[in-house]
Amino acid sequence: MIKLTKDQIKEVAEQLDCGFKCYVNKENGTVHSVLNFDNWGGGDEEPWADVIKELEENWDKYIEVDGMESRDSFKVMADFAENVDSVDLRETLIKALNKKQPFQNFKWVIDNSGPYRQKWFDFKNQRYIEWVEDQLESFNFTNDNE
């Protein structure tokens, strides 16, 4: 069974959060990331040509680790909002999530929340790591705690 390091799992989580697709080699645990061209129409494939070729030629050796859907990302934002220790900020975030364009509203509030901005990034990063670990576990990959 392939074991990924904490750093590899963190890397996959960060790449997914940035809009990339991530693939893990089932035989050796190598991680490849490419821009998610489904979400970035017109993106230049040239920088990822070698990785794309490797994946196409050896598709059966890789698993794809999926990024969060918008409903999953919304749940992460809602969980964060519900657990903020500032009553005023908690209420403002919940209101932002209940308006039209909740992602944009949440981002604006968080970007103007002082120290809570970093708390949000830390929270979201941890949730993405858990998201990746859950998927890897379903593929019988594990974390080797390095």
In the numeric block, which tokens belong to residue 107? Answer: 């981002």
pLDDT tens sequence across 89-125: 999 999 999 999 999 999 999 999 999 999 999 999 9
- Interacting residues of 127 by C-beta distance below 8 A, sequence separation 6+: 76, 79
Q: Is residue 32 part of a domain?
A: yes
Q: Structurally, how many domains does the chain consist of?
A: 2
pLDDT of residue 39: 66
In a domain, 133, yes or no: no
19: left (phi over 0), alpha (psi -120 to 50) or beta: left
Domain shared by 15 and 61, yes or no = yes
**Domain for residue 132, yes or no?**
no
Domain check: are 60 and 74 in the same one?
no
Between helix 102-111 and helix 87-97 the angle, nearest 10°, is: 150
CB contact at 8 A, 76 and 124? yes
Determine, yes or no, domain membership for 134.
no
11 dihedral zone (left: phi>0; alpha: psi -120 to 50; beta): alpha
Q: Are residues 13 and 61 in the same domain?
A: yes
pTM, entire model:
0.85
Question: Which 8-state DSSP code applies to residue 41?
Answer: T
Range of the domain at 8: 3-67+139-143
Average pLDDT per consecutive 10 residues, the chain (146 residues; last block may be shorter): 86 94 92 81 74 93 93 97 97 97 97 97 97 88 54
Q: How far apart are CA 113 and CA 27, in angstroms?
A: 45
